[in-house]
Structure 1
Amino acid sequence: MPKHPRSPPPMRRVIEVLAFPAVQLLDVTGPVQVFASANDFAAEAGTMPPYEVHIVTQGGQSVTASAGVALATRPLPAPGSALDTLVIAGGPGVAAAASDSALVDWVRQRTEDARRVASVCTGAFLLAASGALDGKRAATHWSVCAEFARRFPTVRVESDPIFVRDGTVWTSAGVTAGIDLALALVEEDLGRAAALAVARYLVVFLKRPGGQAQYSAVLSLQAADDSFGALHEWINQHLAGDISLPVLARQAGMSERSFSRRYAEATGMTPGRAVEQLRLEAARRLLLETRLPVKRIAQRCGFGSEETMRRSFNRLLAVAPQDYRARFSP
C-alpha cells in the first residue's frame, strides 16, 4: 500500500516580550501568562503548544522590574531570526529605553521580522520611537495620552480603548490591558473557544463589559476617602430623574455652595459635569449591551432627548451614539 505523506507539524509561534530596566512587571507577566495558559490547555488536549515565549532584554540574562522583581531573560535575538509576534512592555523605564538609539534600532529591525507587533501600556512610546506607529491609530495609558500625542504627532492616539488594532500593529492601554490584548491575539490565532478557556482560567473577561473603556466614570470620580461614593451610587440609580444641584446637595446633606465646593475639591470636576459623565457611561453600556433605540437610551439615562445625548457624545467622545454602537458593539 502506498504511504500517504504526513502533513508537517504545526509551527510554534515565537513570541518575544521586550523588557528593560524598570519595566512594569505586569506589562510583561500578564501577556506571558496568557500565552503560557494557552500552551497548558493545548498540552492537556494532547496537541502541540502553540507558543514559544521569550522575555528578551538588552545585554544580559536578567532585568529588574520597577516592582523590584528580577526577571530571567534572554539577550536580544539577532535581526532576521524567526519571529511571529513582538510585544513591547511599558513602565517607568520606557523613557530611557526609547532614548537608547541601539535599542530603538533593534525594535525597528525586529518589527520588520515579525508577523505582528504589539505594545503594552507606555511601551507605545518605544514602539512609536521606532517609527512603527507612524500614521496609525494607537492606545496607551490614559494618563500619558496627551504627552504621547505631543511627542508623536503622526500617530492618532485614542485615549479610551482598551486596545487598538491597526493592521498588524496592536497597542493596548494601561497595565492590565496587556492581558486583554494578549487574549485578543490568542483569539485571532486559536479561535474564540481557546481564548475563552484561558480567560475563564485566569478569571478575567474575554472582552470587558463595554469592550473599550479604560476606566469607569465612577472610578475617575473616586476621591481618596471616597466621601461621595454613596452619592455616586444614588446618582446611578436615579439617572432618569431630577439630578439638579439642589437635589444633589440635599442628598449629600449640605448647602448648595458647600456641596459644590467640597465636591469639586474631592473629584476635580463640578457636580453637573460628573452627572453628565455618569449618564454617558450608562448610555455607552446600553448602546453596546442592548438593542434599545437611541431615543429610549437617551430617556433612560436622563439626557431628555436624543439630540442632547448626541451633543454630549460628540463633545466628550468625538463620536455620535449610532457610530459608537457600530464601532464597538460585538
Structure 2
Amino acid sequence: MIKVGILLTQHYKLLSVAAILDVFGTANKFHQEMGKEPPYEINLLNNDDQTDGFFDAYKAESIAKNEKYNLIVIPAFTTENIQHSIKINAAFIPWLCKQYQADAEIATVCTGAFLLGATGLLDGKVATTHVDACSAFSKAFPAVKLKGDKTVTQDGRLYTSGGATSSFHLLLHLLQNHCGKEIAIKTAKIFAIDMDRQNQSYFSSFQPSRHHNDNLVASAQEKIESNYQDVSTIEEMIKDIPSSRRNIVRRFKQVIGITPIEYLQQTRIEAAKKLLEETAQQMTEVIYNSGYNDPKAFRKVFRKAVGMTPSEYRDKFQAR
C-alpha cells in the first residue's frame, strides 16, 4: 500500500486538496470493487496538529511525528504572494528534503511547485507550474528547467503539474504509474478528463508586471502597448526615451524578465487571441490588426506561443 501524505499548507487551495482526495479515493474504491486491497493509504499533514474542518473524514496529523511516506502531494496556493506563502510554510522545506532522501515521491499541484522549488530538489530538473506563474517561478528558481507549456512533468521521483484542471492529469499520471493504465482510464472516465492533453500554453494570458518603480521601463512598456500595431524594431519603440538602446534593453529584461522585442511579440499575440475570441474578423484582418504583415510568420509565431494554430484557437475559445 502506498502511504500518501497530502500537505495542508498555510494558504492551500481547497479545490486542489479535494481533487487529490477524490481521485485517490476513487482508485481505492475501484480496487475494493475488484476484491483487491486499496492501493492508497491517505493522510492529511500539517505543521500544527490542527484541522480546519473541511475534511472531517480524514484526521490531520503533524509532520513533527516524523512518519515516513511513499508519496507526498503539495496542493496549490490561494494567494498571489507566493514568497510570503513559502516563508510561512518554511517548516515543510527540511521535512520534504528528508522525505525525498528516504525515497519518497513528491508531486505538486499548480503553484505548489514553488514550495518544492524552495527545497532545491528541483534544481537541474524539469518542472512546470501554472502557466501565468511561470515568469515568477523562473525568476525565483533559475536553476530549474521550467517547461511552462507542459501540463505534467516527471523527473525521477519529482512530479509537477500546471494550473487548475492540470492537477487531474497529474493524478491520472500517478495512478497509471502506481495502479496501471486500466485504473487510470476508468478514473478518467468518471471525472470526464481527456487523458491526452499535454499542453497548457493556450490557457495563458500575457500579464506583464506593473509593480515596479523603474520609470524608464514603464515608459517603454507604455510605448509598446500603445504602438504594437505599427512598430517593428527596438529603435522605433524607444526613439523618444532618453536612454541608450543597450541600457533600456538591460533594464527592461532585469525588471520584466524578457526583452522589449519579446514583450512586443507577446503583446501582439495577446491582441490576436482577443480578436479571435471576441470578433468575427477574417484571419487576414486579425493578422493585420495585431501588428503582423506576413501571414506565414504570424501563424508560426502564434503556434509556438499558444500551442495551436489561430484557427484551432478560435474554434476552441470564440464566444458563440
Distance 1:59 1:98 in 2: 16
Q: In structure 2, what is the equivalent of residue 82 of structure 1?
A: 68
1:23 to 4, 12, 16: 12
| Alpha carbons of structure 1 residues 214 and 19: separation in structure 2 relative to 1, 3 Å | farther
- What SS is found at the alignment partner of 1:170? strand
TM-score (norm 2): 0.64
Q: How does 1:47-196 map to 2 (within 5 A)?
A: 47-63=36-52, 69=54, 73-76=60-63, 78-79=65-66, 81-92=67-78, 95-99=83-87, 100-196=89-185
Letter aligned with residue 212 of structure 1: N
Letter aligned with residue 39 of structure 2: P
The answer on whether the counterparts of 1:56 and 1:75 sit within 8 Å (CA) in structure 2 is yes
| Alpha carbons of structure 1 residues 174 and 18: separation in structure 2 relative to 1, 3 Å | same
1:226-255 superposed Cα distances (whole Å, 9 cap, x missing partner): 897452xx56xx76xx44667xxxxxxxxx
| Alpha carbons of structure 1 residues 158 and 228: separation in structure 2 relative to 1, 3 Å | closer
Q: How does 1:31-50 map to 2 (within 5 A)?
A: 31-50=20-39
The answer on whether the counterparts of 1:135 and 1:156 sit within 8 Å (CA) in structure 2 is yes
Q: How many residues align?
A: 239
The CA deviation at 1:174 is: 1.2
The CA deviation at 1:39 is: 0.5
Distance 1:37 1:146 in 2: 35
The CA deviation at 1:157 is: 1.5
Q: How does 1:309-320 map to 2 (within 5 A)?
A: 316=305
- What SS is found at the alignment partner of 1:165? strand
Letter aligned with residue 69 of structure 2: L
Distance 2:141 2:205 in 1: 30
Distance 1:50 1:70 in 2: 20
| Percent of aligned pairs sharing the same letter | 25
The CA deviation at 1:142 is: 1.5
Q: In structure 2, what is the equivalent of residue 204 of structure 1?
A: 193
TM-score (norm 1): 0.62
The answer on whether the counterparts of 1:30 and 1:176 sit within 8 Å (CA) in structure 2 is no
Distance 1:218 1:103 in 2: 31
The CA deviation at 1:123 is: 0.8
Distance 1:22 1:175 in 2: 16
The answer on whether the counterparts of 1:89 and 1:121 sit within 8 Å (CA) in structure 2 is yes
Letter aligned with residue 98 of structure 1: I
- What SS is found at the alignment partner of 2:193? coil
The CA deviation at 1:96 is: 3.9
The answer on whether the counterparts of 2:4 and 2:70 sit within 8 Å (CA) in structure 1 is yes
Flag structure 2 segments of 5+ consecutive residues without an equivalent.
208-268, 308-320
Letter aligned with residue 22 of structure 2: Q
Letter aligned with residue 72 of structure 2: L
The answer on whether the counterparts of 1:17 and 1:89 sit within 8 Å (CA) in structure 2 is yes
The CA deviation at 1:201 is: 0.9
Distance 1:312 1:219 in 2: 13
The CA deviation at 1:61 is: 3.0
Q: In structure 2, what is the equivalent of residue 287 of structure 1?
A: none
Distance 2:52 2:100 in 1: 22
Distance 2:298 2:278 in 1: 27
- What SS is found at the alignment partner of 2:91? helix
Distance 1:19 1:206 in 2: 27
Letter aligned with residue 171 of structure 1: T
The CA deviation at 1:308 is: 7.6
